[in-house]
Chains A and B, each alone.
Chain A
Amino acid sequence: MYVSVKGGEAAIEASRAVLADTRRGDRALPQIAVAQIAEQLGLAVDRVIGEASLYDRELAALAIKQAQGDLQEAAFLLRAFRSTLPRFCASLPIDTTRMTLARRICATHKDLPGGQILGPTYDYTHRLLEFGLLADEEPPPAPQADPPVAAELPRATAALEAEGLLRREPDDNSPPPDLTREPLSFPAPRALRLQALARGDEGFVLAMGYSTQRGYGNTHPFAAEIRYGTVTVEIVPEELGFPVEIGDIAVTECQMVNQFRGSKTEPPQFTRGYGLVFGHAERRAMGMALVDRALQARELGEDVVAPVQDEEFVLSHADHVEASGFVQHLKLPHYVDFQSELELIRTLRAEARNQADTLREAAE
């Protein structure tokens, strides 16, 4: 008679086993190796390390395998792992002018020092399915650049900065706060906003950036430069007192320049929206740069009229680990609260019915 609505350890254990079996799929096929994911699903790995704020390609690939390719779930797995890691030091700021470039494009100048480097991109592919991949066709070897790309290439915005046309970024020399060690509070300094955007959900950041292009907080953007490549990370160990290289990471940097008509305190000039993310992730970097510029509304004295300019709205809802968890927590039992609501609504309905009856009797 009584149908149990409660779980129980055995049911949970069985659910986990079914999940593992489903993830394995057809056992006649070989398992995907984590190394294959890291090598051949590199852009998925890039998204996961970005949203997890943890640069570990092998563990990201493992997370992707474990999550059956659900990249949000994979980023969540990696973030949860990140919580167990002690922090032993902060690196020096990376220098993206010294990036070993794989790609660098500029949409504001036809030519510029260093030139345009297309590198690996889907931009110029025709979006036609390549049926050869069905048969595991090997691609021809890639051509090598000749001569090699310069070791140090100024950013495309350097000329604008030199001419004073691009707003100087204020720097009060305060150490940047760490979003993963201090809670977000408002008003949020730009460093904190950029951190939140860099790890925010790619879809959300993209959509918020997109909204600026459709009239909700217009920022008149130009993609001054997008560059992708590897940079060296250095730390200064306390006992040594000088910088030591600890490795290279791949990053994508986007600089948008945006028209600014000037304010009471500032002359007309270009302003900058900035995006910097782990791995090769141009869509994310560009969305981030658009949103970064929109969120400078308060500092630049612009009217805050669109959702993308409202930092509390944008930053509180950008994180998919939080959003996904909270939306899906509705699957958890809520019958205690629902019971109280049931009692309440039954009482209110009974009272409304009594009132209607009394009125009808009075009318008769």
Chain B
Amino acid sequence: MTVQSYTFAYLDEQTKREIRRALLKALAIPGHQIPFASREMPLARGWGTSGLQVTAAVLGRGDVLKVIDQGADDTTNAVSIRQFFARVAGVRTTTRTEEATIIQTRHRIPEMPLRRGQIMVYQVPQPEPLWRLEPSRAETRRLHALAEYGIMHVKLYEDIARHGRITLAYDYPVLVHGRYVMSPSPIPAFDNPKLHRSAAIHLFGAGREKRIYAVPPHTDVVPLAFEDHPFRPWKADAACMLCGATESYLDEILVDDHGTRRYLCSDTDFCERRHTSRQAQ
């Protein structure tokens, strides 16, 4: 048994069709979680099996794939997933955001604005935004059906009462198209505004939890907040040590044993290009 005996993009055609049906339904009902019979993939559950399945379902031979984890193209899991598709689908891969037609991501949205025709595929560990408040998914399904989001507003209110502010820094819940509360996946709250009326298609897959949901282009995606406590994204108040960017999302690194901190862009493609153009000058 060799690699050649697998079909294009690994999954059998029936399965890919089934996932595409779920994706179409998800796009038709923005932010609504569609159950699907998630398959086991040759990658551990929780490591992006949903992303693999969604990407496999939408991938064509002409596509150009970019895979990032924590914003970086060279993190181990991003490398592993990129290699997987190069191997089972033979598609062209890239690290350049604007060249990619499909971007599979874990925990970040690229800094460069996305354009029409691009598809973002998010790896989602926990599709249910209410799970910390109500563990039963049978019950949360009911709450979504009734648009009964009181528990979430109470949680945010309690945050303010206790800490003076909403203490959610990532996986910050959003209201999609004025109807469904949705988890944007564990992207930093900093990235939430990039989803609002984005020109790209955003597909979210949760393989272990067997859910697919989506945000079609030009859809309202509004972080939950209160009038007197507006949404506030978090970001280190610093500049990238390589490219000097202050407007991008930064990762903190420790450079010695005395707790000295430096900052680097989390989006490696964004950083490298700024870095190179600065050096050229």
Contacts and interface: CB of A to CB of B under 8 A. Distances in A.
Interface of A: 1-3, 5-9, 11-12, 76-77, 79-87, 180-187, 312, 316, 321-329, 332-337, 339-344, 347-348, 351
Contacts of A321: 40, 44-45
B14 A337 contact: no
B92 to A, nearest CB: 16
B79 A186 contact: no
A34 B245 CA distance: 56
Contact of A7 (B36, B75, B171, B189): B75
B250 A339 contact: yes
B35 A183 contact: yes
Q: Which of A81, A86, A335, A351 has the most CB of B within 10 A?
A: A335
A50 to B, nearest CB: 15
Given A87-B14, A332-B77, A340-B169, A326 B46 contact: yes
Given A84-B10, A324-B44, A340-B189, A3 B253 contact: yes
Contacts of B234: 340, 343-344
B70 interface: yes
Contact of A337 (B46, B72, B170, B241): B170
B45 A337 contact: no
B79 A336 contact: no
Interface in B27-68: 35-47, 49
B252 interface: yes
A183 B190 contact: no
The 3 closest A-B pairs by CB, nearest first: A325-B45, A329-B46, A340-B169
A59 to B, nearest CB: 8
Contacts of B165: 347-348
Nearest to A83: B39
A84 B39 CA distance: 9
Contacts of A7: 74-76, 79
A84 B208 contact: no
Given A2-B253, A83-B12, 13 more contacts: A2-B264, A6-B76, A183-B36, A316-B137, A324-B45, A325-B46, A329-B45, A332-B106, A335-B70, A336-B251, A337-B171, A340-B188, A340-B235
A86 B108 CA distance: 34
B136 interface: yes
20 contacts: A6-B74, A83-B11, A84-B7, A181-B37, A182-B37, A183-B210, A316-B137, A322-B208, A328-B46, A329-B46, A332-B76, A333-B69, A334-B107, A335-B70, A335-B251, A336-B107, A340-B169, A340-B234, A343-B236, A351-B164
A275 B71 CA distance: 47
B210 A329 contact: no
A343 B49 CA distance: 30
A81 B42 CA distance: 7
B266 interface: yes
B204 to A, nearest CB: 15
A198 B266 CA distance: 44
Contacts of A3: 253, 255
Nearest to B163: A348
Q: Which secondary structure characterizes the binding site on chain A?
A: helix
B104 to A, nearest CB: 14
A86 B6 CA distance: 11
B276 interface: no
Given A12-B80, A76-B40, A336-B70, A6 B12 contact: no
Given A2-B253, A84-B6, A332-B77, A344 B169 contact: yes
B270 interface: no
Contact of A339 (B41, B69, B236): B236
Contacts of B39: 83, 180
A348 B166 CA distance: 11
A342 B252 contact: yes
Given A332-B47, A337-B186, A1 B255 contact: yes
Contacts of B250: 339
Given A83-B40, A185-B35, A326 B255 contact: no
Q: Which of B6, B71, B188 has the most CB of A within 10 A?
A: B188
B25 to A, nearest CB: 13
B108 A336 contact: yes
Contacts of A80: 40-43
B249 interface: yes
A187 B72 CA distance: 41
Nearest to B10: A84
A123 to B, nearest CB: 34
Interface in B89-145: 106-108, 125, 136-138
B15 interface: yes
Contacts of A187: 138
Interface string B187-230: 11110000000000000000010110000000000000000000
Nearest to A330: B46
A77 B11 CA distance: 15
B208 A325 contact: yes
A217 to B, nearest CB: 18
Contacts of A182: 37
Contacts of B170: 336-337, 340-341
B262 interface: yes
A348 B167 contact: yes
B102 to A, nearest CB: 20
Given A8-B74, A183-B36, A337 B188 contact: yes
A334 B106 CA distance: 9
Q: Which of B40, B42, B189 has the most CB of A within 10 A?
A: B40
